Amino acid sequence: MNKTDCCGSGTTEGNDGYEVARIAKAVGNCKLCEGYAERQHSKAVAVMSCEGGCLRGEISRQAANILCHTLAPEKTVRICLGGAFTKDTGQRGLVRNAQRLLALEGCPVDCASRMMAGVIDGLAPEIIRTNRLCDFDQKLFGIDEMPAEEIQALARIVAQKIAADL
């Protein structure tokens, strides 16, 4: 596969290596999200994930959910990436204060870790490339290009491999 055939092979725009995003400050607050963050604050491992709409992002997202809610719920907390990125409240606090921070990334674009590094100075999560932890046709892109059961099976394989290293 040639470099231009894969996601993450584009060039960086801008003269300083950064893109600037203007995000309106949150007016509202989700009490359920804040309550969740409060209840989960003592867990050692925070898990944020690629949330992409592609196959790799879906495998990553499902693997994070399986890891945190089924295989290792006693030691892991699943981060709401949107909440952590867009407002400095409970979810971002979970990321900031975790003893160990895992970023499950579906491809080399590293969206989850790059987004969070943009709002938390010095953030250095352990990046886990989920597309390398399971075997599938790397030419597939869309979620609709693979049966849902196969996606879930791949996500479980990825989650089990990560759980084994916790």
Residue of higher predicted confidence among 13 and 67? 67
Give per-residue pLDDT as tens, 91-143. 999 999 999 999 999 999 999 999 999 999 999 999 999 999 999 999 999 99
Cα–Cα distance list, 160 to 62, 63, 107, 152 (Å): 12, 8, 19, 12
The mean per-residue pLDDT over the stretch 46-54 comes to 93
Instruction: Find out whether 155 and 55 touch, Cβ atoms under 8 Å.
Output: no
Residue 109 near residue 42, CB atoms below 8 Å: no
pTM of the model: 0.89
* Burial class of residue 163, CB neighbours in 10 A (0-12, 13-18, 19+): middle
Q: How far apart are CA 35 and CA 139, in angstroms?
A: 41
Q: Are 10 and 65 in contact (CB under 8 A)?
A: no
Residue range 151-163: mean pLDDT, rounded: 98
Residue whose token pair is 């791949």: 154
